[in-house]
Structure 1
Amino acid sequence: MMNVSGMLATLPPMSRDPQPPTFRIALGLIQREDRFLVARRPEGSHLAGAWELPGGKVRPGESLKTALRREVSEETGIQFRDAILLHTDEHAYPERTVRLHFFLCRDPEGNGSGLEGQETRWVTLDELVRLEMPEGNRRFLEILREQHV
């Protein structure tokens, strides 16, 4: 017969501080000639007012590319032929951790207007790296600038 109380005594104590949730995020680098599409995060959202690449949270059971297509289409109306994973990074904010998957969206079609009421802009690479963006995006932008995509 198993001694449950003895087993419980050997387990490490449970942390009183719950771990912040981790979200998988698919983001699209959408390039048209020498410009990239960015959107401003809406009021009331996490990091409201910051600029970001189009994309969003991956739903449970959803592939990264499916989430990317859904989010980019919902936010901007843009459709694209294919997406190539360029970089993956993880960033911990105090209230959440994000696992960011950055894709190059190939052959984008559509004008990139903010379909959810957010402001959008087509910016040069120099403008892109100077925008106020979430901290989790910084390493990718540094790599992008170094590589001159």
Structure 2
Amino acid sequence: MLVRVAAGIIVRDDLVFIALRKSSQHQGGLWEFPGGKCEPMESPETALQRELKEECGIAVTEYSFFKTIAHDYGDKQVELCFYKVTKFDGEPVGSEGQQTAWVPVSDLPSYDFPEANKEIVADLIK
């Protein structure tokens, strides 16, 4: 079964907001760009706004499509729709208790991301 996910690359100045996945989650213990699953019949854009409000406590006001990546983890197939979030209301936090960090774009390769996110990291540091 394919899981569609909307993820936000939240940027401010030369920093990117990332979150640590809980150990109980799929790909737990790895860093990610916040977001979540699209509900049935929900567009990735709508899911992005809903998930970032729930997970990070921000209201997205400006974003642009970045890239879609399909990845097969063996136990789960995902289609990740990434959006670069450049304006938002509020200050991002880990609303679900997850550890978060603002990191320089150039430091992203030193964080462990799920395999499907590594292409995004490479594209961001180009």
TM-score range, shorter chain: over 0.9
Instruction: Please state how far the C-alpha of 1:109 moved relative to its aligned partner.
Output: 2.3
Give, in whole Å, the separation in 2 of the partners of 1:57 and 1:29: 15
- Corresponding residue number in structure 1 for 2:95: 115
Give, in whole Å, the separation in 1 of the partners of 2:109 and 2:40: 31
Q: 2:73 aligns with which of 93, 99, 112?
A: 93
Structure 2: 5+ residue stretches without partners: none
Instruction: Please state how far the C-alpha of 1:29 moved relative to its aligned partner.
Output: 0.7
2:124 equivalent to 1:124: no
CA contact (8 A) 1:83 1:106 kept: yes
CA contact (8 A) 1:65 1:83 kept: no
- Between structures 1 and 2, the one with greater strand share: 2
Q: 1:84 aligns with which of 64, 69, 72?
A: 64
Q: TM-score, normalised by structure 2?
A: 0.95
- The structure with more radius of gyration: 1
Q: 1:50 aligns with which of 22, 25, 30?
A: 30
Identity %: 37
Q: 1:140 aligns with which of 104, 120, 123?
A: 120
Which portions of structure 1, spanning 4 or more consecutive aligned residues, are displaced by more than 6 angstroms? none
